[in-house]
Amino acid sequence: MDLGVDFLGHSIKNPLMNASGCWCDNKDLLDDLLQSEAGTFVTKSATSEYREGNPKPRYIEVPLGSINSMGLPNLGIDFYLNYSLEFQNNHPDDINFLSIAGMCMEDNLSMVKKIEQSEFKGITELNLSCPNVPGKPQIGYDFEATERILEEVFSLTKKKIGVKLPPYFDFAHFDAVSEILNKFPLSYVNCINSLGNGLYIEDDTVSIRPKDGFGGIGGAYVKPTALANVRAFYLRLNQDIAIIGCGGVESGKDMYEHILCGAHLVQVGTQLMKEGPQVFARILQEFNELVKSKGYESLKDLRGALKSM
Ligand code: SIN
């Protein structure tokens, strides 16, 4: 099957990519992604300046996934913007995603302005859902703050903007968030960031150092929640807002299920950290075999085709 995707007018060779924060913090890791079979990539969520992040250990693999409290360690917006501009010059037919996660409204707006004034032709992802910065609640759980930030951002830019959302768990929240998102010329929503503030215990002790051991959960633990969020937003958002599915993608079957629920693109996080960038080739091969065996002829036929009982 041809796995090419037309994403907001850009053609992407296949729907698979990394999740922000995974294998994308520095030049070497980003270069690895370029060498891989991933269709595109997103950079680590940037702040205005370099950030050291939280004390280590801050990421561990656990039996069904991972727990992390990285705290947005990153090289600062200038590095990721310059990397993206260079990528764009070297690959004029391709696009990438540039993730930003300001420490406050001003921080986000100054990065949006900087991107607006640059030649960046890709898509900016506004991360409204990092659970790991001590003292900073996840914006996506504060609906007024979410609306305010989107108003400010869209008053400053005509470039393409998507949002990375936290997981929601209640139909009232799916409805309320969709109503807000539908007011804006958003390019896409990315469902979901890690499932915030879980605890993983080993030998009576928390397993990561920051925030007394509380951290974002990823991997197989979160797949049902991720699929539910993809599906819920697919059914509620305006048709011109695309969906990126993220959460629990370890195999071609997981990728298939995200697309079946409505995802245009699919991200790999925990499994990428575990297996390295060769994960993309393996998942794509498994996906190809599965769609062939199911008789689908195009990704368009598969997207959103989840059946009711
Ligand atoms: C982190 O750096 O803490 C992870 C980023 C995120 O979950 O958005």
pLDDT 10s digits, 75-114: 999 999 999 999 999 999 999 999 999 999 999 999 999 9
How far is residue 11's CA from residue 304's CA, in Å, rounded to a whole number?
20
21 CA → ligand 1 middle, Å = 6
Say yes or no: CB of residue 216 within 6 Å of ligand 1. yes
- Domain range list for the chain: 5-54+72-196+220-302
The per-residue pLDDT for 17 is 99
CA-proximal residue: ligand 1, atom 7 (nearest): 130
Determine contact, residues 230/263, Cβ cutoff 8 Å: yes
CB-count burial class (<10 Å; 0-12, 13-18, 19+) for 99: buried
Q: What percent of the chain has pLDDT over 70?
A: 100
Band (181; pLDDT cuts 50, 70, 90): very high
The per-residue pLDDT for 137 is 94
* Single pTM value for the model: 0.98
Say yes or no: CB of residue 22 within 6 Å of ligand 1. no
Residue among 246, 190, 255, 259 at smallest CA distance from 219: 246
Catalytic-residue membership of 246: no
Band (227; pLDDT cuts 50, 70, 90): very high
The per-residue pLDDT for 80 is 99
pLDDT 10s digits, 45-58: 999 999 999 999 99
The per-residue pLDDT for 176 is 98
The per-residue pLDDT for 103 is 96
The per-residue pLDDT for 189 is 98
Task: Report the pLDDT averaged over residues 230-252.
Answer: 98
Annotated active-site residue in 24, 130, 246, 261: 130
The per-residue pLDDT for 10 is 94
pLDDT 10s digits, 5-25: 999 999 999 999 999 999 999
Mean pLDDT of the chain: 98
How far is residue 39's CA from residue 6's CA, in Å, rounded to a whole number?
11
Ligand 1 probe mutation, 60, 72, 128, most atoms within 8 A of CB: 72
102 CA → ligand 1 middle, Å = 12
The per-residue pLDDT for 38 is 98
Say yes or no: CB of residue 270 within 6 Å of ligand 1. no
248 CA → ligand 1 middle, Å = 16
Task: Report the pLDDT averaged over residues 208-232.
Answer: 98
Give the right CATH number for 5-54+72-196+220-302 from 3.40.190.10, 3.20.20.70, 1.20.140.10, 1.20.58.2240.
Answer: 3.20.20.70
130 CA → ligand 1 middle, Å = 5
Helix (H, G, I), strand (E, B) or coil at 71: coil
Q: What percent of the chain has pLDDT over 90?
A: 100
Say yes or no: CB of residue 77 within 6 Å of ligand 1. no
The per-residue pLDDT for 165 is 98
Instruction: Name the DSSP letter for residue 213.
Output: G
The per-residue pLDDT for 278 is 98
The per-residue pLDDT for 207 is 98
Band (150; pLDDT cuts 50, 70, 90): very high
How far is residue 282's CA from residue 78's CA, in Å, rounded to a whole number?
33
The per-residue pLDDT for 299 is 96
Residue among 226, 160, 141 at smallest CA distance from 191: 226
